[in-house]
Amino acid sequence: MTGAFDDDPTESSERPKGLLGGGLPAMLQDATVVVKAPVGTTLESIPAPRPPAGDGELSPKEEQILEACKAGVNNLHTAFWIAGKSLETMVAGNLHRTSGHSNFTDFVAWNWDISESQAYRLIDGWRVGEALSQLGWHPRESQVRELVDIKSSAGDQAAVAVYDAVARTVTPAGKRVTARLLGEVSRKLPPLSPESSPIQIRQMVRDILAPPARRAEPTAGSASPAESPAEQSSGASVNGSVKTVHTITAVGSNPGGDSPIGESGSQPSTSNGSASNTEDLDRLTEVLALLREAARSITKPAVRRALEQNQRTAGAVLDDIDTHLNKIGRTVAVQRPK
């Protein structure tokens, strides 16, 4: 059953400034909630239902009524972080101590029929929810819940950056941010740390949601439409580890049944420098550039820190890296002409 804090399939997509579009100062400020009751946040401020005043353009009064009603509906979504801050303020100050309830859980359950787990989920996520609202997004509690692992290991700013990056990637295409999408992206991301910048996170998310298309077959003397290996190597200084983690795997994928690094299977090849041969050599060169970038991007201290932050996730990523490196090693271990 869909609740007040869940995804709304009928909501239209807006594209606010976002974390990387001028809204960064909002994230860097301490989260605050202005305690006031603007139009649309109380029942009395919503005009009574009545037939339309006429056809065509809305009158100025109707525009005001529409804005008040939209604000009222938005309460369904903003309520979760306002409720979360309210709950934390009450529990932190022990404000229920004269309520006649022996503990905070009973106090909340009696007054609002909220379970202990739900109360602490709201407390845990309200700062992320409010920061996203300051950037112009309208997150759901169910969506922020999908970012809890990122929040735990890398902090609120990383969780905000992931949501912002997902929203900025999908909304221009007319798609919505959903809890399911955020969960899928979160599971595919490499371990994040408090040092992960919004720019790095944005590139990681883009590589997951819109992986680079396979390069077109080049011709002699023509520029490739995709980045050249040299461009990929030098252009990844800000987010080098991003492309390394996600693009190495992408290079090896081939719906036609090719091998993990693009070695042709059933495709015919000739010895006169055909497009097929050129593409195979191009793939090998691209893989080499990515491996060099990976070698520069990863360090033992970084691996140790990742394991300390989240041993389970980091261990799984390291195992996956080891598997792919072994697979590459076996693939390139072929007899070479002398």
* pLDDT, tens only, 199-221: 999 999 999 998 765 544 444 44
Provide the terminal-to-terminal Cα distance of the chain, rounded to the nearest Å: 68
Is the pLDDT at 289 greater than 90? The verdict is: no
Tell me the pLDDT tens digit for each residue of 276-285: 567 777 778 7
pLDDT band at 6 (very low <50, low <70, confident <90, very high): low
Residues 13 and 120: their CA atoms lie apart, in Å, by 29
Gap between the Cα atoms of 264 and 254, Å rounded:
9
pTM for the full predicted model: 0.50
pLDDT(133) > 50: yes
Burial of 250 (0-12, 13-18, 19+ CB in 10 A): middle
pLDDT at 254 over 90: no
Structure tokens, 277: 């041969």
Looking at residue 338, what is its pLDDT? 67
Of 127, 164, 114, which Cα lies nearest the Cα of 33? 127
- Please check the confidence at residue 151 and state whether its pLDDT lies above 90: yes
Mean pLDDT across 309-327:
84
Average pLDDT value over all residues in the chain:
73
Report, as an integer, the average pLDDT of 44-73.
84
Mean pLDDT (whole number) for 175-204: 93
Q: Between the CA of residue 67 and those of 58, 205, 222, what are the distances in Å?
A: 12, 34, 55
- Answer whether residue 335 shows pLDDT above 80: no
The pLDDT value given to residue 234: 36
Q: Which helix (H) or strand (E) holds 79?
A: helix 60-92
Average pLDDT over residues 117-135: 91
